Amino acid sequence: MKTYLAPVNEIEKKWYVVDAKDKILGRLATEIASRLRGKHKPTFSPFIDNGDFIIVTNADKVQLTGKKWDDKKYYRHTGYMGGIKETTAKDLLVKHPTDLVTNAVKGMLPKNKIGRAQLKKLKVYAGADHPHKAQQPEALEI
C-alpha cells in the first residue's frame, strides 16, 4: 500500500486567530508551531508545507511562569568582535512585544527552508486588532 500524498494545489490552508491574553508562552507556542506545520491534519507530510495561517493578537499580554521574566535571556550578535548583546524577557516585552511569541515559535519549527516558509505564515500583533479581516479567520481556542 502506498502512502497518500496530497497534491500541492489541493491543500486547503485556513486562517485562525488566537488571543494570547493571559496564556503561558511555551504552551501557546507549541500549539501554534504544530498548526503551522500542519500536524493536526491527516494529510501531514514533513516535507510538504500544508499548515494553516495563524494570527496572534494581544502578544503583549502573554505570561511566563516562575522567575522567567528576569532570568530568561535572549541573545543576538552585531557581527563585530565581542558584539554579543543580551536582553531579558521583560525588556524584550517592553521594546518588541511581538518578538517573544515569534522567537518561541521559531525555535519549535524545523531549521531549514520549509521551516522559514512556515514561519512566514505566522502573523503576530501586540494589540487586539489585526489587518487580516478579509481572510475571515476562525477563532482558535488554545
Tens-digit pLDDT profile for residues 52-106: 999 999 999 999 999 999 999 999 999 999 999 999 999 999 999 999 999 999 9
Nearest to 25 by CA among 108, 115, 87, 86: 108
Look at residue 9 and tell me if it is in a domain. Answer: no
Look at residue 126 and tell me if it is in a domain. Answer: yes
Instruction: Supply the pTM of this predicted model.
Output: 0.93
Q: How many domains does the chain have?
A: 1
Look at residue 117 and tell me if it is in a domain. Answer: yes
Phi, psi (rounded to 5 degrees) for 94:
-70, -45
CA geometry: angle 21, 24, 28, nearest 5 deg: 85
Look at residue 104 and tell me if it is in a domain. Answer: yes
Domain that holds residue 22: 14-63+97-139
Output DSSP code: residue 12.
-
pLDDT of amino acid 3: 78
Look at residue 43 and tell me if it is in a domain. Answer: yes
H or E element in which residue 139 lies: strand 138-139
Q: What is the CATH number of the domain that holds 111?
A: 3.90.1180.10
Look at residue 37 and tell me if it is in a domain. Answer: yes
Q: Are the C-beta atoms of residues 15 and 52 closer than 8 Å to each other?
A: yes
pLDDT of amino acid 9: 86
Look at residue 39 and tell me if it is in a domain. Answer: yes
